[in-house]
Structure 1
Amino acid sequence: MMGDEGVCEPLSDGREAGEGWTNLSHRATPFSSKLGAMMRIRNKYQAMKRRRVEQGGLQASAGWASLRPTGPEIFTFDPTCAQAESGHRRKKKRKSSRVLFPSNGRKFLPVAERSLTKPLFLLLSVVLFLQVYNAFENLDDHLLRYDLEGLEKTLRREVFGQQEATAELLLHLRDYLSTYAHHKPLGVSLHGPTGVGKTHLGRILARHFRSVVGEQLVVQYFSTHHCPLAADPGECARDLRARVAGVVARAEEEEKIPLLIFDEVEFMPGQLLDALHGLLRPGQANEFLNAVYLLISSLGEAQITNHVLQNVSAGSGRSLLPDLRQALQKLHPLWAEVDMVPLTLLEKRHVMECFLDEMSQEGFYPDRPHIEQLAEELTYHSAGGLQYSHNGCKQVVAKVNLL
C-alpha cells in the first residue's frame, strides 16, 4: 500500500505482512474475500522477490555501489531497478570468442613449392665466370707467347723521339695478337720523312718476332731488292703471293701469327700494290686472315712535315691522320685497308741521342761537347723555338764513321 509520502514501505518479512493484511481484512469488513486473497498473494510475491535479490545480487550490488559516484540517489518505486540495470550492463561486456583447434586434430601448414630458378641462375653464373676466366687466360697465353712487354722495352731503349708512334703500334699489335681467330689480317703502315727511324723500327720488330715465332715465319721484303725496276711486275706479284702463301700455311700448322714486313713501299709498281691489297682484304682462306703486315714508306712526307711545323708554331690540335689518309687513298686503294702510324720529325736533342748511341756502339768515348759539335753540322727546321732535323738521324752513321 502507498502512504501519503509516495514511497514503498518495506516489510520486515512475509509473516508480519500476512498478519497485518489479515487483521486489516477483519477490520475492513466491506472488502470482499477475493480482494483479500489477491493482496496476500501480492505480499507473498514481494517477499520472495526481495529475498532472491538480497541473496543473489548482494555482492554485485556492493561492487557497483563502491564504483558509483557519491551523490544523491534517485528513488524509484521499484527497489530492484538498480540491480536490473547493473545486470544489463554486465551482459553487454562479452569477451570475443576464440577459435580453438580440437586437441586430437592435426594442423597442416601450407607447403612452399621449391623453385628451380635460383639453382639454374647460380649454375649459369658459374658457367659464365668460367668462360670469361678461360678467355682471359687465353689472352694472357697469346700475349705471353709474343712477349710484347719485352718488345716495348726494346723500342723505348732503341727508338728515339717516336714515343707516340711506338705506343700506337704496340696497341695495334696487342689487340690483334690477343686472340688467334680474326676476320681479316692486321695491316699497319708506318709513314714519315727520311731518317726518322722507320726502317730501324722495322728491323727491331723483325728481330723480336724471329725470337718468338721462328725464322721461317718472319719475312722482310725490300722493293728495290726483291723487285727491281728491270724486273717484270707481274712476275714479282706472283712470287709475292706464293711466298706469302707458304708462310701463312706454315704458321697455320704451328698455330702462330707470322710477321711480313714490306719496306720501300713507295717504289712498288702498281701490280705489286694490287697483290698486296688483295692479301689484306677480308673474306680469304683462314690461314691468310691470321697474319701481320707492316708497310714502311716515306709517302705523306710533305703532309707530316707541314703538320708538325704548323702545329708547333700555330698551336693547332687538328689530327694528322685524316689529311694523310685522304692524300694516300688518291694514290692507291691499298691505304684504305691499313692502320696508319705517322712518325714525326726529330728534334735536335733526339739527334744528339742518336750520336751518343752510335758512338757508344763504335767504341768512342761519349764526349758531350763533341756530340753537340757534330749535331750542329746538320741542317734543321726552326719553328716555335725548336729545331727539327731535315734528315733525322740518317747522317749520323756517316758522321761517326769519319771520326
Structure 2
Amino acid sequence: MKMVPRAVLFLLLSTPLSAAMEPISMGIAVGVATALTGLLTGTFPKLYCKFQECCEAQWVELNLTGLKTDLDNKLFGQHIAKQVVLKAVNGFLTNPNPKKPLTLSLHGWTGTGKNLISKIIAENIYKNGLKSNYVHQFVSTLHFPHPEYLHHYKEQLQEWIRGNVTLCPRSMFIFDEMDKMQAGLIDAIKPYLDYYENIGGVVYRNAIFIFLSNAGGERITEIALDFWHKGNKREDIQLKDLESKLSVGVFNNKKSGFWHTSLIDKNLIDCFVPFLPLEYKHVKLCVREELKARGYQEDEDIIISVADEMTYFPENEKIYSHKGCKTVATKVDFYL
C-alpha cells in the first residue's frame, strides 16, 4: 500500500495499518508530505514530473482504447462487468465536474475476475498501474484483522484517505475481501463518498473507490443456473436481473462488511457489478491467455488438460468451475 510520492523518503506513512498500534500524528505526517511535495511540484513542476510520478496527465489519464481492449482480451465470461465498468469509468473520468467519487462494488465467487478488472482499470488510468503511488489497496484480513481495534481502524482509515486525496485528487482505493471486513468499519469513509463540494477543504469528488466481495456469489449463481435451465443464453442475463438483488442481499448479510451500511442505505454505491460463475469454455480461455502472457505458443493439449483438472458444479450438470480461473496459473506451471 503506497501513500505518498517516493520523493518524500522519510515519511511515517509507510507503516502498515495492522502494525500501526502506537498513537502517531497522521495529520502531521500528511502535512509534511503535502508541503514538501507541493514545494517540489510548485517550484520545478515540469522537471519533477518528467522523472517522478506526479498527479498530472502524463501519469494519470484514462486510456479508453486500452481499457476496452484489455477488457475484451483478458476478462472472460463477464459481459455485464465489461459493459458496466467501461461505461462507468469512461463517463466518470470524462466528466469535468463529477458530483461524487466513482464507487463500484464488485461481487462474485473467487476466480471470476474481480481482482483482474481492478488491475485493468488501474493500468489504464495510471501509468504505473497498481504500483502507482496514487493506487491504494486494502485487504480486510491483512489491514483490519483485530475486532478490538475497530475504532482505531476507523480513524486511521479516514486519515489515510484524507492524506492521499490531498496529495492527488484522482486517487484510487481498492478494498478487497469486503465479505470479511468488520461490520461498521466501512461506514467510516461514508462522508468521502457523499455529494459534498468539499470536506475540510479537501475535494473527494474525483477519487475512485472499488470494493471487492464474494458476498452475493451464491445469489448470482442461482440466477445464472435458472437462465441455463430455461435454455436461455448466458449473454441474455442483464444487470437489471441482478443488481437490486445484490444490493439487498449484501445489505442484509451479517457476514458482509456491507451489513446495514449507510453506503448502501444512502445510495452512495454507483454500481453493484455482478461476476458470473465461469464455465469450462471460459477456463480454457484463461489457460490460453496465461500461456500467451508467458510467451508460449497455444498448446491445445495443455489447455484441455488444465481445464479438465478443474472441478465443476452442480454435481449433475457440472457447468461452472468451483474456483473460476483462480488456480489456472499454478496448474500451467505443472505442465510447463
Name the structure 1 match of 2:182. Answer: 269
Contact 2:175 2:210 in 1 (8 A): yes
Question: Structure 2: which 5+ residue stretches go unaligned?
Answer: 1-56, 253-258
Give 3-state SS (helix, strand or coil) of 2:324's partner. coil
Where in structure 2 are the equivalents of 1:103-252 lying within 5 Å?
A: 145-211=61-127, 215-229=132-146, 232-252=149-169
The structure richer in helix per residue is: 1
Between the aligned partners of 2:127 and 2:243, the Cα distance in structure 1 is 32
Where in structure 2 are the equivalents of 1:364-375 lying within 5 Å?
A: 364-375=296-307
Q: 1:337 aligns with which of 268, 274, 290?
A: 268
Contact 1:190 1:340 in 2 (8 A): yes
Question: Residues 362 and 175 (structure 1 numbering): CA distance in 2 closer, same or farther, change over 3 Å?
Answer: closer
Q: 1:327 aligns with which of 241, 249, 258?
A: 249
Contact 2:100 2:193 in 1 (8 A): yes
* Percentage of pairs with the same residue: 30
Between the aligned partners of 1:354 and 1:360, the Cα distance in structure 2 is 10
Give the number of the structure whose alpha-carbon radius of gyration is greater: 1
Q: 1:399 aligns with which of 301, 316, 331?
A: 331
Q: 1:282 aligns with which of 163, 181, 195?
A: 195
Between the aligned partners of 2:92 and 2:294, the Cα distance in structure 1 is 38
Q: Deviations over 1:93-145 (max 9, x none)?
A: xxxxxxxxxxxxxxxxxxxxxxxxxxxxxxxxxxxxxxxxxxxxxxxx9xx94
Compute the TM-score of the two structures, normalised by the length of structure 2.
0.69
Between the aligned partners of 2:144 and 2:132, the Cα distance in structure 1 is 22
CA shift, 1:315, in A, is 4.9
Give 3-state SS (helix, strand or coil) of 1:402's partner. helix
Structure 1 residue identity aligned to 2:93: L
Question: Structure 1: which 5+ residue stretches go unaligned?
Answer: 1-140
Question: Residues 372 and 193 (structure 1 numbering): CA distance in 2 closer, same or farther, change over 3 Å?
Answer: same
Between the aligned partners of 1:155 and 1:383, the Cα distance in structure 2 is 31
Between the aligned partners of 2:147 and 2:124, the Cα distance in structure 1 is 33
Structure 2 residue identity aligned to 1:292: I
Where in structure 2 are the equivalents of 1:312-391 lying within 5 Å?
A: 312-315=228-231, 319-330=241-252, 331-333=259-261, 334-335=263-264, 336-338=267-269, 339-362=271-294, 364-381=296-313, 387-391=319-323
Contact 1:218 1:260 in 2 (8 A): yes
Contact 1:313 1:383 in 2 (8 A): no
CA shift, 1:385, in A, is 7.8
Give 3-state SS (helix, strand or coil) of 2:168's partner. helix
Structure 2 residue identity aligned to 1:262: F
Between the aligned partners of 1:203 and 1:182, the Cα distance in structure 2 is 23
Give 3-state SS (helix, strand or coil) of 1:391's partner. coil
Name which of structure 1's ranges 316-325 and 173-182 shifts more when overlaid on structure 2. 316-325
Compute the TM-score of the two structures, normalised by the length of structure 1.
0.58
Contact 1:165 1:341 in 2 (8 A): yes
How well do the aligned residues superpose, as a CA RMSD in angstroms?
2.8
Contact 2:107 2:212 in 1 (8 A): yes
Between the aligned partners of 1:293 and 1:240, the Cα distance in structure 2 is 13
Give 3-state SS (helix, strand or coil) of 1:269's partner. coil
